[in-house]
């Protein structure tokens, strides 16, 4: 979604802002702009295109080298096409107030109508621009920018993470949050504001998270926060747990490839300090206070979108097979609108990498409003979903920069496996059985590393299929969600249409698609239903389908049945998805590279969908 960076302090602000926007490019955007206060004047430069295009524009116009207070924005269009006029910042009629904004102002049309009637002149089609004119209007009676913004926002419905600058008050920035994340960076004699810590971690690791309904006045020397209702709020300053090096590409061509190869380490990090192999126990401090509620729940509901929803589907197999806990998985976007039957007997887990996905957050809030216990399985520490749940488990995957989720998915599955063992043991699973599962879980990082040893094989396979127009992904049991996730990966970064299906469903329709032009990927570990999947493979083969199989290292039959085999180590069926997805991540990566698409920032996609 949109990127926001603001700086106030002794440094030249333009390089700080542009570098910060570059670190947010992974969020997906289509225009960029900057506003600085220079010699008492507000200077705004903005255009459709990339941050590099904005930097050229700033350079050509001579920049404002002396300016030490400013803000920048990268926009992912929601209202109004991506062009220069619709790019942020937006200004008021007097050209002394500038606003950048992430979110959607739902009642902007009615506000705009009134403002036009009051004589305001608009220059864009955006919802955001109404904020600039509304603040201009309230400024007259408020007397200062902080109060003007606070009063203006009382008339606003919708979501925002916004920053306001005015040449009338060059020593302050105003930041406010409702539904779109904003953090304040606390430095020595300088302060920053950003939509994501990645933009400012280079300057400070000390941050304060604004909550919904809060507004902050930020100066070089400090900041103060109140609610929109003018109630003072004392903010705790946290220390960020990751540094810049983690954000950089680390020598890989793309963040996505780096993150695929990080998985042995990120799976290890998800387990670290939580798995007691000898006793077969799991320590999850975040859930200790709610374990009884989960064990005695009528059911567990796993909420998510996209890849996180796929993680939930695997989690359902784990929780029901191992912990025998009734589990349902819901698309958050559907759940939030179908008036679901949820009671205080239910426990809801919101699964989200970013912790900011609007649909997942709304579904979580709905479940809470109906009395459910709200828990989270989240990656980004301090994110909205993390802070709105009663308890939860962080997946510790580190910043995931590639828009296509990879390491977060395997870490979500690892945490779901930990939660499952934690609950199974609490429900009476024997220490012996627990230790068997714990021991296997402990082996997963090394087994993931063994899968990555075959990474180059995927590159040659991808070369052979890069012109395919459709793919079918098939799996059974806990590998059906792997088929879905593998198909999603291919779709979102190579733009090839792909469908995931339960392998047994082939005969109910999809088999009509099979011919020599339809590559079919099977996830076919040597488990209890291997023979069933093998017969599905024969059905495809009989119709000249070209077959790529993800199969176990010791499977000597498979090579006779398929065109390509990618080997994965054995593990227990419900842990299998953690390993089996890795070859499919690599396949989609190399397909995208061979097709020259933008791997880390695929077209039309955003890393975190914080609007509906």
Q: Which residues would be at the binding site for ligand AGP (CB under 6 A)?
A: 305-308, 352-354, 357, 360, 403-405, 492, 608-609
Q: Which is nearer to ligand AGP, 208 or 404 (CB)?
A: 404
Q: Which residue is nearest to ligand AGP (CB)?
A: 306
Out of 46, 447, 491, 607, pick the active-site residue: 607
363-to-332, 380, 385, 592 alpha-carbon distances in Å: 5, 18, 10, 33
30 vs 136, which CB is nearer to ligand AGP?
30
Rounded to a whole number of angstroms, the minimum distance from the CB of residue 275 to ligand AGP is: 24
607 is catalytic: yes
| 263's tokens | 């998985």
Cα separation, 444 vs 411, whole angstroms: 11
Q: Which of 2, 293, 407, 491 is catalytic?
A: 2
How distant is the alpha carbon of residue 344 from its chain centre? 28
Residues 93, 121: Cα–Cα separation, whole Å: 6
DSSP 338-392: S-----TTEEEEEEESSS--HHHHHHHHHHHHTT-EEEEEESSTT-HHHHHSSEE
Decide whether 124 or 354 has the Cβ nearer to ligand AGP: 354
Between strands 238-239 and 31-38, the pairing is: unpaired
373 or 406: whose CB is closer to ligand AGP? 406
Taking the complex as a whole, how short is the minimal distance between the CB of residue 485 and ligand AGP, in angstroms?
A: 8
Q: What's the distance, CA 349 to chain centroid?
A: 16
Minimum CB–partner distance for residue 494 and ligand AGP (Å)? 13
Task: Tell me which residue of 14, 352, 18 sits closest to 199, measured CA to CA.
Answer: 18
Instruction: Report the nearest approach of ligand AGP to the CB of residue 136 (Å).
Output: 36
Helix, strand, or coil (residue 224): strand
What is the rounded distance in angstroms from the CA atom of residue 228 to the CA atom of residue 481? 43
Report how far residue 170's alpha carbon sits from residue 156's, in angstroms, rounded to the nearest whole number.
Answer: 25
How many whole angstroms separate alpha carbon 334 and alpha carbon 362? Answer: 11
Least distance from ligand AGP to the Cβ atom of residue 40, Å:
42
Q: How many CA atoms lie within 13 A of 516 on its CB side?
A: 0
Order of strands, sheet of 391-394, starting from the edge strand that comes earlier in the sequence:
327-331, 299-304, 346-352, 373-378, 391-394
Rounded to a whole number of angstroms, the minimum distance from the CB of residue 57 to ligand AGP is: 30
Between 327 and 357, CB nearer to ligand AGP: 357
Instruction: List C-alpha distances in Å: 190 to 168, 177, 531.
Output: 20, 21, 65
C-alpha R_g of the chain: 26
> Smallest distance, Å, CB 403 to ligand AGP?
5
Could you tell me if 351 and 389 are in contact, meaning their C-beta atoms sit under 8 angstroms apart?
A: no
> Which C-beta is closer to ligand AGP: that of 57 or that of 305?
305
Least separation, in Å, of the C-beta of 458 and ligand AGP?
A: 18
Which backbone phi and psi does 177 adopt, to 5 degrees? -135, 135
C-beta closer to ligand AGP: residue 148 or 587 = 587
**Count, residues in the chain:** 612
Closer CB to ligand AGP, 33 or 304, in the complex = 304
- Which are the catalytic amino acids? 2, 607
């Amino acid at each position: 979604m949109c990127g926001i960076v603001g700086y106030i302090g002794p440094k030249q602000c333009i390089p700080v802002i542009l570098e910060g926007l570059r670190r947010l490019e992974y969020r997906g955007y289509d225009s960029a702009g900057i506003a600085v206060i220079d010699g008492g004047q507000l200077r705004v430069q903005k255009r459709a295109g990339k941050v590099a295009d904005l930097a050229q524009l700033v350079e050509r116009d001579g920049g404002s080298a002396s300016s030490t207070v400013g803000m920048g924005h990268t926009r992912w269009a929601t209202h109004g096409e991506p062009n220069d006029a619709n790019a942020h910042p937006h200004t008021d009629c007097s050209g002394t107030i500038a606003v950048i904004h992430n979110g959607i102002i739902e009642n902007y049309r009615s506000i705009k109508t009134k403002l036009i009637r009051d004589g305001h002149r608009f220059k864009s089609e955006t919802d955001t621009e109404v904020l600039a004119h509304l603040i201009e209007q309230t400024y007259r009676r408020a007397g200062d920018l902080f109060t003007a913004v606070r009063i203006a926002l009382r008339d606003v419905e919708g979501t925002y993470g916004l920053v306001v600058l005015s040449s009338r008050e060059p020593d302050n920035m105003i930041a406010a949050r409702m539904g779109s994340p904003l953090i304040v960076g606390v430095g020595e004699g300088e302060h920053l504001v950003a939509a994501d810590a990645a933009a400012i971690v280079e300057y400070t690791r000390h941050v304060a998270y604004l909550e919904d309904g809060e507004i902050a006045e930020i100066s070089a020397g400090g900041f103060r926060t109140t609610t929109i209702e003018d109630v003072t709020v004392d903010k705790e300053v946290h220390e960020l747990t990751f540094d810049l090096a983690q954000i950089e590409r680390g020598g890989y061509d793309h963040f996505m490839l780096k993150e695929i190869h990080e998985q042995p380490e990120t799976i290890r990090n998800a387990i670290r300090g939580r798995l007691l192999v000898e006793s077969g126990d799991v320590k999850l401090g975040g859930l200790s206070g709610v374990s009884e509620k989960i064990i005695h729940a009528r059911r567990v509901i796993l909420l998510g979108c996209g890849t996180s929803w796929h993680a939930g589907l695997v989690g359902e197999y784990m929780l029901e097979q191992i912990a025998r806990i009734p589990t349902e998985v819901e698309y958050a976007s559907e759940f939030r609108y179908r008036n679901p039957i949820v009671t205080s007997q239910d426990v809801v887990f919101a699964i989200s990498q970013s912790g900011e996905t609007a649909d997942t957050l709304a579904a979580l809030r709905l479940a809470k409003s109906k009395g459910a216990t709200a828990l989270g399985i989240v990656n980004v520490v301090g994110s909205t979903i993390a802070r709105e749940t009663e308890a939860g488990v962080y997946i510790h995957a580190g910043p995931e920069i590639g828009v296509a989720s990879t390491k977060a998915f395997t870490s979500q599955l690892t945490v779901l496996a930990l939660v499952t063992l934690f609950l199974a043991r609490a429900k009476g699973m024997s220490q012996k059985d627990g230790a068997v599962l714990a021991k296997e879980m402990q082996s997963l990082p090394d087994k993931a590393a063994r899968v990555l040893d075959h990474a180059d094989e995927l590159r040659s396979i991808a070369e052979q299929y890069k012109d395919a127009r459709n793919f079918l992904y098939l799996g059974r049991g806990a590998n059906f969600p792997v088929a879905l996730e593998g198909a999603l990966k291919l779709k979102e970064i190579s733009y090839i249409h792909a469908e995931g299906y339960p392998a047994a469903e082939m005969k109910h329709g999809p088999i009509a698609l099979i011919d020599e032009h339809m590559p079919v990927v099977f996830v076919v570990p040597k488990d209890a239903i291997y023979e069933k999947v093998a017969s599905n493979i024969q059905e495809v083969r009989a119709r000249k389908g070209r077959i790529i199989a993800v199969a176990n290292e010791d499977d000597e039959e498979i090579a006779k049945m398929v065109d390509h085999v990618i080997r994965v180590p054995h593990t227990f069926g419900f842990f299998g998805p953690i390993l089996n997805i890795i070859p499919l991540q690599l396949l989609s990566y190399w397909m995208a590279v061979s097709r020259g698409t933008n791997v880390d920032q695929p077209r039309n996609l955003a890393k975190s969908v914080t609007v509906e």
